[in-house]
């Protein structure tokens, strides 16, 4: 029993990080119905930007983190401006194809700039390891969980309580209508990409802090796929639930199924759950069931 | 105040929809534009509002002038800000997943003054049916309520010119009547109105002048009352031909003549 609680707890913490990854995909999907496949590379770039501020420039963390995130946001906005904006009003499929291209392009850029080395990454946050007779939670995953949920809440607050959030929700529903009422949809879309890349960077820094950072670290970004497919591509609450489900499943699979000899099952489990959910609910648990009239 | 000169617009570089249309909007009037489905009325309004680019359309010839200044290079937000021109798209351009209150606030996005709250109350006074629904998602409102909301949202932008695209689409006759009453009231309060309508009879009745558009050109124009009496308009747009119906052959020839006018 203690074992189970421990496993679920660990899964929940990492699940919160996955939820944040899911959120990044969901906000973009809601706005332009495009799936951002380059999420992993955004994660790596965001982490490296923070790396520059914190490790290369030796800034204190409370300056380095905002600066790094700001840089990540600017890069996100810039990428949107150069590659996505020209496609405004076109088929979302073409935007999705662009993100596939971005994936490989950014991958190559990262390798050119930072090479294929592994960069050690240690944030030295205050030690908040939680240790009782029953549980033992390491400090880093707890911090990761805290930062992720805080970022998640901030984004939700921004979306539902501010003027720009309202504009974002309006643009997300219909770009043309928003434009007709004087909302600058192009600018709003850029803001959305900036927010998304900032969140990805937060997740990236947290994940890098578990071990190290390398050009190949981006692969973890693909976890966002089962997260949003389970939760629903256009549901913010779904991203949270999906993230937690994936985190917990992974953790359970690692603790109970892998020891039975199925090494590597941990990485497959999320897709397993995803398939089951999609069989029962094709739009995900919380996705809007769309009625399309032909 | 607004003049459209020999405007030609194509979609996707090949589909020619407006073929040299010219018309004039005078300050303070209700201008009615009628025309068959696919005549290019919506395209015309999109172009004037600076949104044609979003639909992959281009102006290949002609000009749009506001008080003699060309506005064809401006984008929608600029046109709205500089000239207080607001375009209410066809088919109830509201945000279904936002509440009525949020819809009104979203429409005031381009404003930074501190009178948004009081204006909101004013708009709701204009459309009392919306009051009890304030915190409901707009998607659940009835068709009539949604159209009222759409016009209310347009009012939140403080327009001097309103372009209305088929506001009566899908509404019951009684609601249409109420809506047209409101449009007339708005006009009395000083807003210039361009009204695109299929419901030609009701529209011409509240309008000052009218244009008949076909195949992306103006084929007829005049005082609203004159148009109501015009035999061709009655035949094709009011569905009430004089005494003896013209044969189909005649109708076709008439149309063809108009197209090459
Ligand atoms: N985005 C678009 N891409 C290509 N063709 C378009 C586009 N929008 C409209 N069209 C075409 O342009 C023509 C005119 O359309 P438009 O919507 O302007 O007509 P309308 O007069 O508003 O008709 P209705 O009365 O049915 O609303 C139609 O043939 C239509 O198929
Ligand atoms: Mg139309």
Given a cut of 90, is residue A264 above it in pLDDT? no
pLDDT recorded at residue B254: 45
Task: Report how far residue B239's alpha carbon sits from residue B221's, in angstroms, rounded to the nearest whole number.
Answer: 18
Domains and CATH numbers, chain A: 2-122+137-280 (1.10.3470)
Each residue of B158-215: pLDDT tens digit? 999 999 999 999 899 999 999 999 999 999 999 999 999 988 889 999 999 999 999 9
Place of tokens 């090479």: A115
Interface with A, mutate which of B109, B160, B162, B167 (most A CBs under 10 A): B109
Each residue of A14-69: pLDDT tens digit? 999 999 999 999 999 998 889 999 999 999 999 999 999 999 999 998 999 999 99
Indicate the top mutation candidate among B14, B34, B40, B214 to test ligand 1's pocket, ranked by most ligand atoms within 8 A of CB: B40
Residues lying with their CB under 5 A of ligand 2, a single-atom ion: B 42, 90
Enter the pTM of the model: 0.88
Each residue of B6-53: pLDDT tens digit? 999 999 999 999 999 999 999 999 999 999 899 999 999 999 999 999
- DSSP letter (8 states) at residue B236: H
Interface with A, mutate which of B76, B154, B167 (most A CBs under 10 A): B76
Task: Report how far residue A50's alpha carbon sits from residue A181's, in angstroms, rounded to the nearest whole number.
Answer: 38
Of B249, B211, B240, which is closest to residue B21 (Cα–Cα)? B211
Indicate the top mutation candidate among B14, B33, B38, B214 to test ligand 1's pocket, ranked by most ligand atoms within 8 A of CB: B38
User: Would you give the end-to-end CA distance of chain B in angstroms?
Assistant: 26
- Give residue B85 CA to ligand 1 midpoint distance, Å: 22
Q: Does B102 touch chain A (CB under 8 A)?
A: yes
Encoded tokens for B78:
């600029």
φ, ψ of residue A213 in degrees (nearest 5): -120, 135
Predicted ipTM > 0.90: no
Q: Does A78 touch chain B (CB under 8 A)?
A: no
List, in order, residues 6 or more apart from B20 with CB less than 8 Å away: B6, B7, B8, B61, B62, B216, B217
Residue B35 CA, closest ligand 1 atom number: 21
Encoded tokens for A105:
């392009």
Sign of CA dihedral B112, B115, B117, B121: negative
When pLDDT is averaged across residues B59-70 and rounded to a whole number, the result is 95
CB of A284 closer than 8 Å to CB of A242: yes
Q: Which CATH superfamily is domain B2-84+159-259 in?
A: P-loop containing nucleotide triphosphate hydrolases (3.40.50.300)
Task: Give start-end residues of each CATH 3.40.50.300 domain in chain B.
Answer: 2-84+159-259
Residue A101, min C-alpha distance to chain B (Å): 23
CB of B120 closer than 8 Å to CB of B158: no
pLDDT bracket for residue B252 (50, 70, 90): very low
Concatenated DSSP letters of B61-117: EEEEEETTEE-TTS-HHHHHHHH-EEEE-SS----TTSBHHHHHHHHTTT--SS-HH
B:65-94 residues touching chain A, CB 8 A cutoff: 76-77, 80-81, 86-89, 93-94
Given a cut of 80, is residue A221 above it in pLDDT? yes
pLDDT recorded at residue B181: 94
CB of B30 closer than 8 Å to CB of B208: yes
Each residue of B95-141: pLDDT tens digit? 999 999 999 999 999 888 889 999 999 999 989 999 999 999 999 99
């Amino acid at each position: 029993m203690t074992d189970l609680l421990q496993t679920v707890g660990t899964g929940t913490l990492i699940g919160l990080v996955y939820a944040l990854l899911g959120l990044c995909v969901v906000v973009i999907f809601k706005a332009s119905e495009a799936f951002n496949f380059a999420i992993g590379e955004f994660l790596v770039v965001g982490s490296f930007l923070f790396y520059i501020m914190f490790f290369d420039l030796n800034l204190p963390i409370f300056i380095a983190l905002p600066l790094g995130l700001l840089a990540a946001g600017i890069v996100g906005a810039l990428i949107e401006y150069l590659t996505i904006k020209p496609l405004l009003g076109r088929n979302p499929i073409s935007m999705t194809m662009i993100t596939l291209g971005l994936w490989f392009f950014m991958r190559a850029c990262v390798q050119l700039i930072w090479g294929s080395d592994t960069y050690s990454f240690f944030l030295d946050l205050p030690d908040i390891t939680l240790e009782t007779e029953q549980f033992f939670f390491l400090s880093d995953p707890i911090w990761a969980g805290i930062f992720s949920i805080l970022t998640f809440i901030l984004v939700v607050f921004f979306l539902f309580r501010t003027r720009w959030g309202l504009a974002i929700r309006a643009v997300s529903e219909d770009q043309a209508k928003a434009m007709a009422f004087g909302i600058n949809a192009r600018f709003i879309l850029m803001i959305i990409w900036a927010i998304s890349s900032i969140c990805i960077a937060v997740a990236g820094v947290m994940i890098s802090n578990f071990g190290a950072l390398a050009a190949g670290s981006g692969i973890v970004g693909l976890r966002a796929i089962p997260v949003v497919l389970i939760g629903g591509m256009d549901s913010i609450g779904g991203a949270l639930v999906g993230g937690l489900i994936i985190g917990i499943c992974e953790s359970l699979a690692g603790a109970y199924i892998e020891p039975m000899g199925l090494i590597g099952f941990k990485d497959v489990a999320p897709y397993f759950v995803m398939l089951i959910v999609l069989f029962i609910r094709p739009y995900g648990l919380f996705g809007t069931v769309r009625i399309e009239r032909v | 105040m607004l003049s459209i000169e020999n405007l030609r617009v194509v979609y996707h570089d090949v589909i020619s929809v407006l073929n040299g249309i010219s018309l004039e909007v005078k300050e303070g009037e209700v201008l009615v534009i009628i025309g068959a489905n696919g005549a290019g009325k919506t395209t015309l309004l999109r172009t004037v509002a600076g949104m044609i680019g979003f639909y992959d359309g281009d102006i290949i010839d002609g000009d749009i002038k506001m008080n003699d200044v060309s506005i064809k290079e401006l984008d929608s937000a600029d046109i709205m800000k500089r000239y207080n021109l607001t375009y209410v798209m066809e088919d109830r351009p509201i945000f279904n997943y936002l509440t009525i209150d949020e819809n009104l606030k979203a429409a005031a996005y381009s404003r930074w003054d501190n009178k948004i709250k009081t204006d909101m109350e004013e708009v709701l006074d204009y459309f009392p049916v919306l009051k009890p629904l304030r915190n409901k998602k707009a998607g659940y409102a009835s068709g009539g309520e949604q159209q009222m909301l759409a016009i209310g949202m347009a009012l939140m932008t403080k327009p001097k010119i309103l372009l209305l695209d088929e506001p009566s689409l899908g509404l019951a006759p009684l609601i249409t009547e109420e809506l047209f009453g409101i449009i007339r009231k708005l006009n009395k309060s000083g807003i210039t109105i361009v009204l695109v309508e299929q419901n030609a009879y009701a529209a011409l009745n509240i309008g000052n002048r009218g244009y008949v558009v076909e195949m992306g050109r103006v084929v007829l124009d005049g005082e609203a009352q004159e148009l109501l009496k015009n035999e061709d308009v009655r035949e094709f747009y009011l569905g009430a031909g004089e005494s003896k119906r013209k044969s189909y052959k005649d109708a076709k020839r008439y149309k063809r003549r108009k197209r090459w006018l």
